[in-house]
Amino acid sequence: QQPVQSPQAVILREGEDAVINCSSSKALYSVHWYRQKHGEAPVFLMILLKGGEQKGHEKISASFNEKKQQSSLYLTASQLSYSGTYFCGTAASGGSNYKLTFGKGTLLTVNP
């Protein structure tokens, strides 16, 4: 089942923060976050495995609450380059049955 992302879109001014949420109705093995710019392929941001961890990548971090089957992506002090559509992809299992199901995406626009 497709994970649900919220919000669908968000507009920020440079330097502002944003949170993008991803929730699933199924138990999750991992959550993957990607950013896609118009006309380009998705770029891998980070992966979170079950165990309730949090990861950071410069000013972008994410958390994964395994019990709630939710993940959140945190963008702090946003930059113009952060603009794009953010997708979460979820996997119910690893190993040979591994595959990702992507949410509908969150369009982030950062204005000067």
Closest approach, Cβ 38 to another protein, in A, equals 9
Closer to another protein by Cβ: residue 4 or 19: 4
If one asks whether residue 41 binds another protein (CB under 8 A), the answer comes out as yes
Residue type, 83: S
Residues 36 and 52: beta-carbon distance below 8 Å? no
Q: Are 74 and 60 in contact (CB under 8 A)?
A: yes
| Residues listed for the chain | 112
Peptide bond into 42 cis (omega under 30): no
| Closest to another protein by CB, 19 or 107 | 107
Question: Which of 47, 65, 66, 74: binder of another protein (CB under 8 A)?
Answer: 47
Residues at the contact surface with another protein, assessed by CB under 8 A: 2, 30, 32, 34, 40-44, 47, 49, 87, 89, 91, 94, 96, 98-105
